[in-house]
Structure 1
Amino acid sequence: MLKRILWLLTAFPAAALLITLAVANRHSVRLVLDPFRPETPVLSVVLPFYGFLFGALLIGVLLGGAATWMSQGRWRRTARVRTGEARRWQTEADRLMRERDAEVAARAKALAAPEKRNAA
C-alpha cells in the first residue's frame, strides 16, 4: 500500500508537469532531416514541439533500459547457472531420500517378518 501511495505522489506531479510542458510548447516546429539542403528539405517532420520533447524522453528511457539490461547480462547468466545447479542438487536430494525411505521400509519389513512366525 505504501508503494502505491509513493507512486501516486510522484506520478501526479510528473503528469501535471508534462501536461504543463505540452500546453506551453504546442506550437509547430519543423525538424529538418536533410543536412545538405536545409532551406528546401527533402526530409522533414512538422510536429508540435512537445511531440519532439516526449519523443526524446521516450527514446532516452528505451536506450537507458536497453543499456541497463545489457549491462546486467552476466548476472542473469550466473542466476541461470545457479538455478540449474540448485535443480540438479534438489533432484539428487530427492533421489537419495527415496532410496533411504525404500531402505528403511525394507529393513522394517525384514524386522517385522520374524515376528509373524508361529511356534507350532
Structure 2
Amino acid sequence: MLRRIVNWLVVLPIAIVAVALAVANRGSMTVSLDPFSREAPAYVLTMPIYVVILLTLTLGVVLGGVTVWWRQGRYRKRCRRAESDLHVARAEANRLRTELDRSAGLAASGGVPARISRPAA
C-alpha cells in the first residue's frame, strides 16, 4: 500500500509536467537526420516540439538503464555463483546432519557409531 502511494507521489507530478510541456510546446519543428546536406536533407521529420523533447528524454532514460544494467553484470554473475555455492553448502550440511543423526541413533541403541565419511576435496 505504501509503495503504491509513493509511486503515485512520483508519477503524478511527472505526468502533470509532461502534460504542461505538451500544451506549452505544440508548435511544429523540423528535425533533419541528414548531416551532409543542410539545404535539401534526405531524411526530414516534422513533429511538435514536445514530441522531440519527450522522445529525447525517453531515449536518455533507456540508454542510461541499459548502461547501468550492462555495468552491473559482474555483480549479477557473482550473485549467481554465490547462490550456487550456497546450494552446494546446504546440501552438504543436510547430508552431514543426516549422518550425525544416524550415528547418534546407533550410539543411543548401544551399537558402535558409524564412521562419518567426508567427501574428497
Query: TM-score of the superposition, structure 2-length normalised?
Result: 0.80
Aligned to 2:115: none
Percent identity for Structure 1 against Structure 2: 37
| 2:87 is equivalent to residue 102 of structure 1 | no
The 2-side partners of 1:19 and 1:90 are apart by: 54
- The residue identity in structure 2 corresponding to 1:53 is I
Deviation of the 1:86 alpha carbon? 0.7
Deviation of the 1:108 alpha carbon? 4.5
Deviation of the 1:106 alpha carbon? 3.8
Aligned to 2:88: 88
Q: How many residues align?
A: 111
Deviation of the 1:54 alpha carbon? 1.0
- The residue identity in structure 2 corresponding to 1:95 is R
The 2-side partners of 1:36 and 1:88 are apart by: 61
Deviation of the 1:61 alpha carbon? 0.5
SS in 2 for 1:47: strand
SS in 1 for 2:55: helix
Q: Which runs of 5+ in 2 are unaligned?
A: 112-121
Deviation of the 1:109 alpha carbon? 4.9
Structure having the larger proportion of residues in helix:
1
Deviation of the 1:110 alpha carbon? 5.1
Query: TM-score of the superposition, structure 1-length normalised?
Result: 0.80
SS in 1 for 2:26: coil
Bigger shift: 26-35 or 53-62? Answer: 26-35
| 2:1 is equivalent to residue 6 of structure 1 | no
Q: Deviations over 1:20-54 (max 9, x none)?
A: 10111122211111122222111111121111111
| 2:64 is equivalent to residue 64 of structure 1 | yes
SS in 2 for 1:75: helix
SS in 1 for 2:29: strand
Aligned to 2:76: 76
- The residue identity in structure 1 corresponding to 2:52 is F
Aligned to 1:21: 21
Aligned to 1:39: 39
